[in-house]
Amino acid sequence: MTTLKKNLADEDAVSCLVLGTENKELLVLDPEAFTILAKMSLPSVPVFLEVSGQFDVEFRLAAACRNGNIYILRRDSKRPKYCIELSAQAVGLVRVHKILVVGSTQDSLHGFTYKGKRLWTVQMPAAILTMNLLEQSFRGLQAVVAGLANGEVRIYRDKALLNVIRTPVSANTSPQGLLSCLLIPLRPPPRTSDASQKHSLGTPYAQLTVLGIRQWLSPCLQGAYCLRSASQRHS
């Protein structure tokens, strides 16, 4: 499930709901009447969706499916226009500008164009558990954040590694996990000679929302930050 802007690209503009169903269909719903504006068919059940553009103008929709393929659909197309065949199952799909970044079960990130051309591949040191987009519009920055099974959180801009943050636990999307949300510093904290001194929290942060919830943060080990629940915050 994802959203697609109706006719404007503004951040607060009206969006349509895009649903992937178990009967191998993609549905675009009207945001007011909740009627079906468009219905598209897929060869397999979709598991990850990414969209760009506006429904009333032009849009592209990428769907990673259970058969290991990624299908690209455009406006007014009832069936996929392009197909990206992966060598392993996808574990994440993120759109960065005009590039589709795909994480696979072979512990690797791949960059593709919307026409299916592979641009690059980066091998990870461990299995990819979760992926998300890190965006700072005022800087024009878009990067991919990948949480790995070895506790690392890696930030990539295209295939260039920007930063590695090591956490005491694996970042995952489980509601029972210790990391329900992650905050990444936009600039590294100042170095101090006193190892016991805590870093200041006055540095600006960019938020990677894994579960779509916002909570208060507390400092954690090795420069990473985990979030306290509301009950912990008031205790």
Instruction: List, for residues 74-130, the tens digit of each pLDDT value.
Output: 988 889 989 999 999 999 999 998 999 999 999 999 999 998 999 999 999 999 999
Which is nearest to 73 in space by CA: 59, 54, 85, 84?
59
> To the nearest whole number, what is the mean pLDDT of the chain?
77
Instruction: Give CA separation, 140 vs 8, 55, 96, in Å.
Output: 19, 24, 11
206's tokens: 């960019």
CA angle 173, 4, 216 (to 5 degrees): 40
Domain boundaries, the chain: 1-122, 124-189+202-235
15's tokens: 């969006």
The fold of 1-122 is Lipocalin (2.40.128)
Q: Are strands 216-219 and 99-104 parallel, antiparallel or unpaired?
A: unpaired
Tell me the mean pLDDT in the region 11-30: 92
**Per the confidence metrics, is the pTM higher than 0.75?**
no
